[in-house]
Amino acid sequence: MMRKSLFGAAVAILISLCPGSSAHAAAPEEQLIEAVKVALGKNFNNDWSGLDALPGIKWAPLPPQSLQNCLPDGGCFARQGAARYGDHGMNVIASGARTFVTNIYFRSTARALGETNVLDALKQAGFAPELARCPVKGTIGGTNWYRLQSASANPGVLSVQSSCNGKPCEGFQLTLGGDLPQLQPRQVSMYSERCSGAPEARRAVSTSSPQELIAQSLTAFIPSASGGVPEWPAITKVLPEAKWFGTEPKRMDLTFKLDLNPYGITGSVALAQRQFSLIASGTQARPQTVYFDENGLHPRGEDVLRLLRGQGFDVRLARCGPVYTESTNNWYGVTGNATKPVMLLQSIRLDGKQLQDGYAIRLDNSLPKRDPRDRDPGVSGCK
């Protein structure tokens, strides 16, 4: 009797240790979401060494790789890895700044996990996924973005890509933080951030490209031929979508822009999701100059001056700034049949394959004090 009891106990122990016999074997999508849960955990260390805590991923040795060209998400450093979730393999890349991670990308190398399965796994893990960005009907957009909320986790955004230019594919982007990643210029007409209604009712983030909106915004500030430079309250109403921090000018030191105007108002504006800082400077009586300074980076290939010419303006080079290897600062005279002439500064900073733009409109059509290193058109490569 004793021998039979011992045998039965041994069999019970063996059964309990046998994988899949009584315990639930986590599906690949559940294992993926377990990594997401760790990355969004309140105790997660978001420096590059913290990635080693994510389950199922084998990372390349530290330090992260410094990229010659920063990624579209703004990350200039990256660390590659490979994930194995059950029988499912994924390529993994984390991106971010020198000291911390901002995004983690997963790309399926074989069969797809399926968006529905991933959403179910998120809910089982305690997240409440909210569709925050979705394709506009009739476009080739193939990605959905979900805001992730949980009482036990930090906010995050998970994008699920199921189509690559109309062809089946699968990829995920986990953004650490609650802000949606910025769309690329060609994507703003393909996606909507109004996803609660029927697909037919989804409106694009913008039907115009960022460069088109920049050109339109610049021309909006050019005084009409029959009018004059607007007063301070009026200048803050030129762009309805802009947010100005006040309507009355305050004392301001703008010598870092070689601007001697003693008064100014600051603000901001988003043009097809591209963020700009605004400054209007002038005397206490009225503004004289308006600045647009891009906060981030964008891909090469835009030509705002060409768009201004397409609107009927004559845009002619007036002066080139000092020679720099990674930036240009050129002044242009802008004239139109129905507007007063103005001077326009275009500043372009190069960062690998990406650029950062800045513009200044001098409403009184004057040029600033000349730098000894400035060049006239046709001199020392000024063209």
Question: What pLDDT digit, counting tens, does each position of 94-115 carry?
Answer: 999 999 999 999 999 888 899 9
Question: How many Å apart are CA 302 and CA 284, to the nearest integer?
Answer: 36
**C-beta atoms surrounding 130 within 10 Å:** 13
Mean pLDDT on 137-159: 94
Tell me: pLDDT of 2 over 80. Answer: no
Tell me if residue 148 falls in helix, strand or coil. Answer: strand
Tell me: pLDDT of 168 over 60. Answer: yes
| Single-letter amino acid code for the residue at 131 | L
> How does residue 229 score in pLDDT terms, banded at 50, 70 and 90?
confident
Q: Where are the domains of the chain?
A: 25-201, 210-362
Q: Which of 279, 275, 243 is nearest to 259 (CA)?
A: 279
Q: Which residues pair with 330 in a beta bridge?
A: 320, 346
> How does residue 3 score in pLDDT terms, banded at 50, 70 and 90?
very low
Q: Are the beta carbons of 215 and 311 closer than 8 angstroms?
A: yes
Question: How many Å apart are CA 186 and CA 299, to the nearest integer?
Answer: 11
pLDDT score for 166: 79
From the CA atom positions of the chain, what is the Rg in Å? 28
| Single-letter amino acid code for the residue at 372 | P
Residue 32's contacts (CB-CB under 8 Å, 6 or more residues apart) are 56, 83, 85, 90, 106, 113, 118, 121, 172
Tell me: pLDDT of 30 over 90. Answer: yes
> How does residue 70 score in pLDDT terms, banded at 50, 70 and 90?
confident
What is the average pLDDT score of the chain?
90
Q: Which of 233, 255, 259 is nearest to 246 (CA)?
A: 233
Residue burial 74-91, b: 16+ Cβ < 10 Å; e: rest: bbbbbbebebebeebebe
What backbone torsions phi and psi does residue 259 show, to the nearest 5 degrees? -110, 120
Tell me: pLDDT of 148 over 90. Answer: yes
Tell me: pLDDT of 7 over 90. Answer: no
Question: What pLDDT digit, counting tens, does each position of 260-301 carry?
Answer: 999 999 999 999 989 999 999 999 999 999 999 999 888 888
H-run or E-run covering 339: strand 339-351
pTM of the model: 0.79
> How does residue 24 score in pLDDT terms, banded at 50, 70 and 90?
low
Tell me if residue 253 falls in helix, strand or coil. Answer: coil
Question: How many Å apart are CA 66 and CA 346, to the nearest integer?
Answer: 29
pLDDT score for 61: 97
